[in-house]
Amino acid sequence: MTTKLVIGLDGASSGERALDYAKRQAKLIGDCEILVVYIVEWSPFTFQTPEENEMRHKRRLEEIKTATDRVVDPAVKSLQDDGFKASGVVHHGDVAEKLNAIAVEHGADQIIVGRSSEGGFAKRIFGSSTGNLVMNASVPVTVIG
């Protein structure tokens, strides 16, 4: 049976630590797939004009492309170059909620995230989001310091 790991990356060194940890875990596990995830924090509750909504949609597409090109694709390539089965996704939304939903959708066995004082993902997730992710996740969550 293939074990599936979800890695939440933030584009900072904390994400690199999470990626390194996931590689070590995957080597120990053997038959393992790794899904690299980047969440662009986004609120659906902003009220805007139709024109602003159109621009917002374009910004979302640009953000997805940037996160894919700069964070997710290089991480996936690194994993694949090291012989791992890996893929990646970028989504918009609440970080904790989306990471859990993606883990459930993909049948993941574990979520791995990095902790950092550098901001980005860790800044958003540590605090109330960390509690939400850790206490409400459908799978175990490992937080790498």
Q: What is the largest CA-CA distance in the chain?
A: 52
58-90 pLDDT tens trace: 888 899 999 999 999 999 999 999 999 999 999
The reported pLDDT for the residue numbered 3 is 96
pTM across the whole model: 0.84
Query: What SS3 class is residue 46?
Result: coil
Average pLDDT, the chain: 85
Closest to 88 measured CA to CA, from 40, 123, 18, 38: 38
Question: Mean of the pLDDT values across residues 82-106?
Answer: 94
| 11-15, 29-33, 35-39: least confident range | 11-15
The reported pLDDT for the residue numbered 50 is 76
Tell me the range of 10-24, 93-107, 128-142 where mean pLDDT is highest.
93-107
Name residue 110's amino acid.
Q
Distances (CA, A) of 54 to 57, 58, 68, 140: 5, 7, 21, 38
From the centroid of its chain, how far is CA 2?
20
- Domains in the chain, CATH or no CATH each: 7-144 (3.40.50.620)
Instruction: Give dist(CA 142, CA 140) in Å, integer.
Output: 7
